[in-house]
Amino acid sequence: MLKPAFEAVLFDCDGVLVDSEQITNGVLRGMLHELGWQISAPECFGRFVGRSLKDEFGVIEENTGFRPDLDWLAEFRRRRDAELAISLQEIPGAGEAARALFQALDGKVACASGADRGKVEMQLARVGLLDVFEGRIFSGEEMPHSKPAPDVYLAAAAALGVDPARSAVVEDTISGTQAGVAAGATVFGYCPPDSPSHSRPEWLLEAGAAHIFTSMKELPGLLSAELGRREVP
């Protein structure tokens, strides 16, 4: 492939590299039902996907009268990880795309997720991608602010030694897209057709995504094609 028009590519994890959102959100919805909040699957996706669950404790309390604590969060993560260990799959084409970009950019790729580090590393290991991102994994939960704040993408770009403005961010959620835009990066929004667990293309465009694509197999070529359309200082 041609060299991309960027110095680094910063990947979100859930919904971009691994097909985890329905699994994780299903566990969360079940636990919210246990608390008496009969939230629907679409509403649960809309309220919680792409955000740190700790940041949403207030929303849960408003709708259940129960204030989640660290014990409740630990139980959620235990159930979540058990389900992921059984059912998690790679997003089709994500591994091939990530490895191609790793080669083209001399290793300047990173995984910048809003999730906790344990989950991210476990998921990447399960789908055989930990070696691509090892040492370049960033968790929004370890930052002052998680997505939609830009902190995790700024940290990833800084660790790679690149200007965020010369970085491409690959996202699938509104909050993640907002984070990438706030960091000054160019956001490529991944929207597979007819997927119940991904944001609609128009939502990502409204959030600031510069491009929408529907298959991870398109990504390396899309980033290379951008070279002919983008003025690089």
Q: Which residue has the higher pLDDT, 194 or 111?
A: 111
Confidence (pTM): 0.87
Q: How do residues 23-82 score in pLDDT, each as one tens digit?
A: 999 999 999 999 999 999 989 988 888 777 888 999 999 999 999 999 999 999 999 999
Residues 6+ apart with CB under 8 A from 154: 164, 183
The backbone torsions φ and ψ at residue 56, rounded to the nearest 5 degrees and listed phi first, read -105, 15
pLDDT for 1 beyond 60: no
For the segment 202-220, the average pLDDT, to the nearest whole number, is 96
pLDDT grade for 184, boundaries at 50, 70 and 90: very high
Distance separating alpha carbons of residues 17 and 190, to the nearest angstrom: 10
- Give me 87's structure tokens: 């059912």
Q: How do residues 119-145 score in pLDDT, each as one tens digit?
A: 999 999 999 999 999 999 999 999 999
Using CB atoms within 10 A of its CB, is residue 79 exposed (0-12), middle (13-18) or buried (19+)?
middle
- Give me 44's structure tokens: 């649960």
Q: Which residue has the higher pLDDT, 118 or 2?
A: 118
Q: What is the DSSP string of the chain?
A: -PPPSSSEEEE-SBTTTB--HHHHHHHHHHHHHHTT----HHHHHHHHTTS-GGGGHHHHHHHHS----HHHHHHHHHHHHHHHHHH--BPTTHHHHHHHHHHHTTT-EEEEESS-HHHHHHHHHHTT-HHHHTT-EEEGGGSSS-TTSSHHHHHHHHHHT--GGGEEEEE-SHHHHHHHHHHTPEEEEE--TT-TTS--HHHHHHHT-SEEES-GGGHHHHHHHGGGTS---
> How many residues make up the chain in this entry?
233
Do 16 and 114 form a contact (C-beta atoms < 8 A)? Answer: no
Distance separating alpha carbons of residues 1 and 203, to the nearest angstrom: 30
Closest CA to 16 of 106, 83, 110, 87: 110
pLDDT score recorded for residue 197: 74
pLDDT score recorded for residue 3: 65
% of the chain surpassing 70 pLDDT: 95
- For the chain, give the mean pLDDT: 92
The backbone torsions φ and ψ at residue 65, rounded to the nearest 5 degrees and listed phi first, read 80, 0
pLDDT for 233 beyond 80: no
Buried b (16+ CB within 10 A) or exposed e, 42-67: eebbebbbbbbbebebeebeeebeee
